[in-house]
């Protein structure tokens, strides 16, 4: 499995469609060298300001999704 270091340089957009949240970003993606002593994982780095913006945007999108659901499905019970 290939692993990557992903550095978010700019948040461009966020939207949801049919249960999927899509982020538009400018990102630097570099292959991460494989190491035998570590499990293969990819890493995501973003500045604190971007993380705060992302959190706010995700909260807004999730709140909008919750408003679209029927009232009987909002309680968390399936």
Please determine, for residue 76, whether its predicted confidence score (pLDDT) is greater than 80. Answer: no
The pLDDT of residue 73 is 60
- Strand order of the sheet with strand 43-45? 20-31, 4-17, 43-45
pLDDT tens per residue across span 5-49: 888 888 888 887 777 778 888 989 888 877 777 777 777 788 888
Please tell me the distance from the alpha carbon of residue 48 to that of residue 53, in angstroms, as a whole number.
Answer: 9
Joined together, the tokens standing for residue 41 give: 């994982």
CB 4 within 8 A of CB 31: yes
> pLDDT confidence of 75, banded at 50, 70, 90?
low
């Amino acid at each position: 499995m290939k692993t990557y270091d992903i550095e978010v340089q700019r948040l461009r957009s966020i939207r949801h469609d049919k249960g999927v949240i899509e982020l538009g970003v400018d990102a630097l993606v570099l292959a991460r060298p494989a190491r035998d002593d570590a499990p293969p994982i990819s890493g995501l780095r973003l500045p604190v300001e971007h993380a705060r913006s992302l959190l706010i945007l995700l909260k807004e999108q999730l709140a909008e999704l919750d408003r679209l659901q029927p009232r009987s499905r909002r309680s968390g019970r399936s």
